[in-house]
Each structure stands twice: as C-alpha cells, then as structure tokens.
Structure 1
Amino acid sequence: MDALDLAPHDWRHPRPLRRPRVILRKTPASASPTPTSPAPSPTPPPAATRESSLHLLRRFTHGITPDLLAHATAAGGARSWFTAQLAPSTVPDPVGDEIDGWFAFLQRTPEELYTRSRNDTEGVWAVMWDLARWTVCRRLSSARQLQEMMVDFWSNHLNVPVGNDDAAYARVDYDKVIRANALGTFEHLLQAAVVHPAMGINLNNNVSTKKAPNENLGRELLELHTVGVDGGYTEADVKASARILTGYRVDLWPAYKAWYDTSRHATGTVSVMGFSSPNTSADGRAVTLSYLSYLAKHPKTARHIARKLCVKFVNDAPSDSLVTAVANAYTSSGTSIPATLLAMIDHPEFSSSVRAKLRNPMEDWIATVRALGIVVERPTTSSSFVNAMHWQYVGLGAAPYAWSAPNGYPNEGAAWASAGRMLNSFNLHRTMAAHYWPKDDATLPDLHTYLPALPATLQQVLDTVGTRLLGETPGSVVSASVAALLGWPLSKRVTARELNYYWPIIAIACTLLDSPLHLYR
C-alpha cells in the first residue's frame, strides 16, 4: 500500500519543528524500560528461524515488543514460549496484577453493581466502559498474552455485548468465567457460559418458561456456539433445546437475583441431534449439563470450532486438511483447547500463512501502542491515557465486546479492509507516533532514542528502527517507500543533525506502521 504523505515541507531541505511535550513517567518495574542510548545494530538469528518465531508471536500476542522477544528467547524459542503460555497461572504477571488493582469494579458482585447503578452511585454503562479499558490494558501489558488472545476469541464466539444494559450487571462475572476456561476444555467453557446469567439475559433465556419456552438461546447454542449453521439441526431440535434450558432465571426488580427455578423447567422427553433424555426431574440442571457436554463433543462442533480457530489464527480460507487435523485433535483430547491449538500451529499450513491475516482496528490500536513502547499508568483524571484511550479505539471500531449481535465480530479480513478503515489506521499511527493524544499518565518514549549511532546510512536507520518497532528489518519495498517519502537514497549517510527534527523520525515510524509489516498479523 502507498505510504502516507505526512510532509509539511520539502524533506530534502528540512527545517526544525518544535517537538510536542513528551511526558516521561516512572515505568512499572517489569515493563520494558525506555531506551536512553542509541539502539545497537540488529543481529537477527537465521532468517527462517526468526521468521517462524515472529509469525507465531504475531498470531498469538497483541504485538511484537522487545520484552516479548526477550521472553521468547529465554523460554528457548517461540514454540516453547507458546507451550508455557498454555498454563497462564504459571506465568508471572506482575504488571497485569498491578493493572487489576486500578479497577475497583473487578471486586464487585452483580448484586453490588446493580445496587450502585440503581442508587446513581455508578451507572452500569460506566462499568462496561471500564471493563473495556481494563481489558485493553491487559492486552497491552500482560505477560499472559496467549490467555488474552484466547479470552478475546472465546468472548467473541460466546458473545454477550456490553451494550446490553440488563446483561451488563452480570457481564464482569461472565468475563471471569471466560478467563477461567479460556485455556481449559471447550466442554467446561460451554457449560459455564451458556447457563450464566449474562448469557441468559442477553438471549432471553431468563424469561423462558415451561409454558412459553423462548427459543433464542436454544437456537443460538446450536447455530453459533456448537454445531454451526450447517450443523443439520431441525426446528424440532431448536424447540427441544429451548425446553432443556428452561429454569435458569434472572430478575432485575426490585433487586438483582439469579437462581434456578424448578417450577419453570419443562419436563418430559427431549431429543436433539442424537441426544435424548427422559427429563423427568423438575431440576433440569443435570440434563442441561449433559446436553451441553454432548454438544461440545459432537463431530460437527469439532469442525465448527476448528474452522473458526483456523480463520482467526491461520487464514481466511483454511484447507479441509487443516480443519480436519485440528478437529481431530479437539475430539481425541476431549475438547482440550491447548491440544487443539498445538495441532493448529504444528500443521504446515500455519507456517505457510505468514501475513495472511489483517488486523482489525482494535488489534491495530493495541499493536501500535505496543510497537511504540508506550507504557500506560494508573489513571488519575479523565484525560489520563487509560481513560482517554477508550474514545480513540471506540471511534476506530471493534472496541472490546461491543458487537451487538450474538454472532460476534467477523474474523475474516475482508470485513476490515475498506479504504475508510485504512485511512483511519494511518491517522491513528500518526497520532500515536507523534504523541498527540492521549498522553497523560503514560510513558511516551522519544522515538529518536530508537535510532542507531549516527551517522549511519538510511538503510541502517530503517533496519534499526524497524527491528525496534516491528521486531524485523523492513525489507526493500518498505525501505524504498520511506526513502521516496524523505527524498533520500537508502545509501545516504544520515547525520544526527539531519534526523534531529521532529518530522523525519515520525515519517519513518508512520511508514513502518502503515505498511503490511504492521497491519498484517
């Protein structure tokens, strides 16, 4: 794609421009320090090894950083890092723990959130904004990057939007359920999520009764969550599915109350896609869990989940060979999510899918902040980075959990490849690289500290800055784009005086971020 022309004047005759104020604050102890000396010349490992490692890290983290690369190296390579990440509780996460302490809502029950909203102490909509902020902070800074990726994936698959004001009271607790099961088994995840009050409210199961079963959750359970739209279920299956799920109640007046109501459960024989039960007990919870277990292990669910994972993490049109291999691992492991992921990354199609996935706007926003080395801090005012960033990524689209329909955000790149989206991304990259806004209560590294010892050729400058921002050198096409933008040949030896201007370094950073090297995962 073409480089974004940021030039306010002729690059070949630069004049000094006043730099914006850069706020430097104390960096959390475990975060990457801001460079204070010229960056060393890159000394990458063999190309094939480095490329495969970067590919795995790009797909299963929210963006390459020097800290991430160091951790992967210390772990013995990207795949060893990945394997360790499959057990998030064993991964120390001091920065993530610190971030958790910034948000009081995490400690409140649905009942408390309801009471606070009803008495005008704190609107539940404000809690949902903070849930998004906390989620983004964790994606930015947590050492448990794979867990954050899978929380995103499963939250989208089992979507309960934060815009549902009634479900919002239980949405924080729902997030905890997703996180607790994101790297466990799909069977347990499905059982916990489907009967959760947030899901019940969002898909009307909280008002479903034996006299008037509401089919919304019963249908979406089949169509979206398990066997898929082509799963072969019938209308009779949908009706029986809805009857099984009756009894899970949530009331929102005069107080929040979630419970199982045996008087509302529809008894009598049920049959759904090979599952059957006499369903004689007024307490249908055991039948429900058995039904959900059956659906989780269904062969069509295995293929539906496998394909969705492959579209998210491999390419938009995964081969039948890949989907079959992943589905087989899912089935043979008893729906183990780690085993399923390992089968996917070990398939040859994964290693050949380098830069086959376009980042959506939210992924781009997070990866941009990570690439630029911005470190967020505890918010103190409405203009603090952590608070103000919400309006920035909401404006871009794809804010966390904001998709209103039950099917979740699309994972295919075509949904995010419009000209308008690209222009918005280009503008984002300039805004963030230039430290325009937001900038309070954050460490904003001076990009000039990412330069090599000068003088150096323009190509050496690009290789050093590219390695710092993206984890790799930019290559001939992107390098030529920067050279054309600056009006300097790649062989030109650039002096400190020539680069001691505000716009040239911004032009370099923005062109790197505007390129496919950054926009594609």
Structure 2
Amino acid sequence: MSEHARRAAAYAPLPVLEPAAHHLVSRFSHGVTPALTTAVRRKGHLAWFEEQLRPARVADPAGDALAAWWPDLSLTPLELWTRQVKGVRGGWDVMRDYGSWLLARRHTSTRQVLEVVTGFWENHLHVPVTSDGHFTWRARYGALVRQHALGRFDRMLVAAVTHPAMLLHLDAARSTAEAPNENLGRELLELFTVGVGRYTEDDVKDSARILTGWHVDTNDTWQAMYVPEHHSTGPVRVGTFRDPNPSRDGRALTRRYLTHLAHHPDTAAHLARKLAVTFVSDDPPAALVRLLARTYLEHDTAIVPVLRALVRSPAFRAAAGAKLRDPSEDVVATYRALGVRLLPPVSSQSATAAMLGSTGALGLTTGTWPRPDGAPTTNAAWSSPLRVLASVDLHWSMAHQSWPSKELVHRATADYLPPLPVTLQELVDHVSRIVLGKPAPAYLVEACALATGYPAGEVVTAEHALVKHHVPKVLATLLDSPDHYSR
C-alpha cells in the first residue's frame, strides 16, 4: 500500500448531530453550522430547544449589534416621513434596510428559535414592507411581534391589530362610526383568528365597528391616537361575542373582543394547522392539529407549550426532509453553510444588500408579499424550475466567492479540507459535515465525483488539482442537493 493510501485510510470524520437532533435544529434555525452543532451536542437537542425558548437568557452580542448598522430604523415615524417628503431618503430604501436587518439577524443571531418563530408570526400577522405610509411604523411593528413571539397569542393579537402599521395597512387608521372600513375587521376574522368560512358578513360589519376609533395622525405628527368620537357605539355581535358597546371609548371593548377571538376554538384550530404546516408537513395529521389546538387552549394561548408539544410529537419526528426552504431561508442558510461573516454595509453593493436582492431573485424579496394573508409556506409555492435555477445561480456564485464581494469575509478554502491526503469520498464527507451538518450520502459523493471529474476513490493530496481548482464545485454540488433545499 502506498503512503498516500495509508494516510487516506486514517480519515477521522467530524462529529455531527444525530438525525433527530439535526431535524429539530434544521426546522428551528436558519441553518446548521459547526458552532451550532457543537452547542447542541454539548447540551442535547431538547435542552438546547428549551434554552432557546427563553431568549433573554441566551447571550447574543453579535445579533444585538446589528441594529447600529441601519440607524434609520431607529428614527421616529415623523422623522422618516419628513425625510421622504424632503427627498432625503424614501420609505422604500428604509424598508430595504429593514429587510437586510432581518436577514442579517437570521444569519448571525444565537437566538435562532426566536428568529424562526418571529418570522412565522410576522408572516401570520402580515404587514408588507412595500406599501406607502406604513413604512413609518413597520420596523416598530416587527419589534412588537418579536417581543410577543414566544409569549401569548391573545396579547400579541391585541398589540398587533391596534398597532399603527396594521391600522395603516388595512385602512383602519381613519375608520369612523359614520364610515367604518371593513378591511381590518374582515382580515382579523379570516386570516388572523377563526379562519375562512367561520364568520358572516354581519360579523364583518360589527367587527369593523368595534375597531373604529383607532387612528394614526397622517396629516401632521404620524402618531398613534384614539379618537372616541369616531368610535361606533351600540350593540355588537360577532359570532358568540356580544357586547352592549355603550361607551365612546371603545379601547376596552377592542381588548375584550380580540381576547375573545384569540381564545376561540376555531382560532386554536386555525393556528394549530398553520404551525403544523409550517414546521411539520404540508398535510399534517389531524391528530397533531387537534393536539396543538388543545394545548393552545389549555395554556391560555401561550405559544411555548404548543411548540413543545409540536417538536415532541411523532408526526414531527417523522417529517425530516419534508419541508422546502423558501427564498429567504435558502439565502440565509447558504450564507451560514459557507461560514460567511457579514461586515457593516457601507455601499449599495454590500453583502447584506446582496442577500436581500438574492431573495427577490429566488422568488420573493423578504417582507414584500403583497397580500395580507402572508407568504405561502407549502412546498409547491417554492419548487418551480425557475426557483431551482435561481438557487443554482446563487449557490454557484457564493461557492466560488464571486458575488457578493464586498463587506463580507468568506471561509478560507483550506478550512473546508480535512488533513490530506484523503480520498475524494472522504473529502466530500468532510465538507458535507461542515456545510450540511451531516455525513455525505452515496448520491452526493457520486454527484461530486461527476462535478469534479474524479472517481470517489481518487486520493487527494495538497497538490492535487481538485484542491487548487475544484473545491467550489464540491460546495456548489452540496448546496444544490435536496439536503440543503430542505429544512
């Protein structure tokens, strides 16, 4: 046996997560990394998940520091509007900052479960970043959802529905007793709580009346306010909710109404199914949905017990590989897989701007879904040939470090390699453990052999042409695999 062959036989695989742990971390993070693997192996995956459910106890200095990268997001609504009117900076540019900040947080934060669950609720209680006017409040709306994402849904619903961004988006900011606007009252029932077919047109009318009085001063200060004289008084009835509604100050009525909806069994079923579709499978078992709905009601709409029940269910454990990443998830997971370190943006060509642009190229710029129903979370929405081709282009350019090229630091090629020499099969396995967080299955070894032109048994030395020229092909092949597309 040659010296090269003897040394290749000494390959020592990097440790990875066992399949159940990898599945949990894949669904509740934006991509498994070597650092995350180490942390989860040290704690155990369920213990890691429990710790993540208390994000205030998880130190996140790098994630917290990102706020300073986009200072416009901390400006007041009036300051943002004034700057747009004066031509200093438009709302669209500020919202691009917000999208970039979201992606950077998902990439960087150690509070991965919080990031994933916040994304779920921002999509459920969706306010797009693209409409005029409400950009003034949109970053603050995101902060509010993040604050409640692991709390109680009844409290989150009250805060979100009465938030200026939501009021502006769904035309309730100037709704009055004389002319109640029905948009928010309808979407509240159809999308946010009880669901399609669980209400009548009369319910919508009274839902809109209940919400009159909540305003935003779009003529002067852009501040939120409540105007009692614009509240519609008199008896209201929405489903099983009834109230005499005698007072001009309808704020307490709004809270009673929204709390009632949050605790409604139809809302529990609606949210349970949406959580199961997002985190388990496109067609989740009915028994799982019933379990999650029952848990939600038994725990006073608290979200954490529902998540615990979900990840401990047989249906969740059986669903590994059953969900595809959407455009934002693919972009962030790719940057994490390649160990990219983001730097503060100083130009329009920054890596953080490129991340946002890539989400658009893959099918949906982060936060821009135009309708109030939120972006789809089913596989069919994100499995078109055009999406695959766009992902291939992203993976290739990132693997070759050709674009983006500014304000980021790539992992060095040498950091992907095991001690050499090894066989190509072993090299692929080593890189897979870094990039995908799992051993390389036979089909990926074969794919990398085809991509590089070398057989699986080829002995790769430090001077080998593969090391000098073809490692990016191995990376791109791994990123183009179902193991990376799925989460």
For the criterion TM > 0.5, the same-fold answer is: yes
The farther-off stretch of 79-88 and 348-357 is: 79-88
Instruction: Tell me how far apart the structure 1 counterparts of residues 435 and 15 of structure 2 sit (CA, whole Å).
Output: 14
2:445 alignment partner in structure 1: 479
Q: Which has the higher contact order (CA 8 A, sep 6+)?
A: 1
**2:460 and 2:466 in contact (8 A); partners too:** no
Matched, 1:106 2:106: no
**1:359 and 1:520 in contact (8 A); partners too:** yes
**1:109 and 1:173 in contact (8 A); partners too:** no
What is the aligned counterpart of 1:334 among 300, 307, 327? 300
Instruction: Tell me how far apart the structure 2 counterparts of residues 397 and 388 of structure 1 sit (CA, whole Å).
Output: 14
* AA at the equivalent of 1:256: W
* Structure 2: runs of 5+ lacking an equivalent: 1-9
Over aligned residue pairs, what C-alpha RMSD do you find? 1.5
1:42 alignment partner in structure 2: 13
Task: State the 1:454 CA deviation.
Answer: 1.4
What is the aligned counterpart of 2:382 among 416, 441, 460? 416
1:481 aligned counterpart, secondary structure: helix
**2:331 and 2:355 in contact (8 A); partners too:** no
2:215 aligned counterpart, secondary structure: strand
**CA distances 1:305-363 after superposition (whole Å, capped 9, x unpaired):** 01001111100000101101111111101111111100111110000000000111111
2:13 aligned counterpart, secondary structure: coil
Task: State the 1:399 CA deviation.
Answer: 2.2
Task: State the 1:108 CA deviation.
Answer: 1.6
* Structure 1: runs of 5+ lacking an equivalent: 1-38
Matched, 1:92 2:63: no
**CA distances 1:222-262 after superposition (whole Å, capped 9, x unpaired):** 000001113x2111111110100000111322442321010
Structure 2 CA distance for partners of 1:403 and 1:502, relative to 1, 3 Å: farther
* AA at the equivalent of 1:368: T
* AA at the equivalent of 2:263: K
1:158 alignment partner in structure 2: 125
What is the aligned counterpart of 2:349 among 383, 397, 401? 383
Matched, 1:174 2:141: yes
* AA at the equivalent of 1:416: W
1:184 alignment partner in structure 2: 151
Task: State the 1:97 CA deviation.
Answer: 1.6
**CA distances 1:131-187 after superposition (whole Å, capped 9, x unpaired):** 011111100001111111111111110111111111111111111111110110111
* TM-score, normalisation: structure 1: 0.89
Task: State the 1:500 CA deviation.
Answer: 5.1
1:83 alignment partner in structure 2: 50
* TM-score, normalisation: structure 2: 0.95
2:4 alignment partner in structure 1: none
Instruction: Tell me how far apart the structure 2 counterparts of residues 441 and 502 of structure 1 sit (CA, whole Å).
Output: 25
**1:452 and 1:461 in contact (8 A); partners too:** yes
Task: State the 1:105 CA deviation.
Answer: 2.2
Structure 2 CA distance for partners of 1:40 and 1:399, relative to 1, 3 Å: farther
Instruction: Tell me how far apart the structure 2 counterparts of residues 463 and 105 of structure 1 sit (CA, whole Å).
Output: 44
User: Runs of 4 or more off by more than 6 Å in structure 1?
Assistant: none
* AA at the equivalent of 1:176: A
**What is the identity percentage for the equivalent residue pairs of Structure 1 and Structure 2?**
44
Task: State the 1:113 CA deviation.
Answer: 1.5
* AA at the equivalent of 2:401: H
**1:292-441 map, 5 Å:** 292-441=258-407
Task: State the 1:398 CA deviation.
Answer: 2.4
* AA at the equivalent of 2:26: R
Matched, 1:139 2:106: yes
Task: State the 1:112 CA deviation.
Answer: 2.0
Instruction: Tell me how far apart the structure 2 counterparts of residues 380 and 410 of structure 1 sit (CA, whole Å).
Output: 33
1:132 aligned counterpart, secondary structure: helix
**1:44 and 1:50 in contact (8 A); partners too:** no
Structure 2 CA distance for partners of 1:325 and 1:267, relative to 1, 3 Å: same
Task: State the 1:470 CA deviation.
Answer: 0.8
* AA at the equivalent of 2:321: R
1:206 aligned counterpart, secondary structure: coil
Instruction: Tell me how far apart the structure 1 counterparts of residues 65 and 38 of structure 2 sit (CA, whole Å).
Output: 21
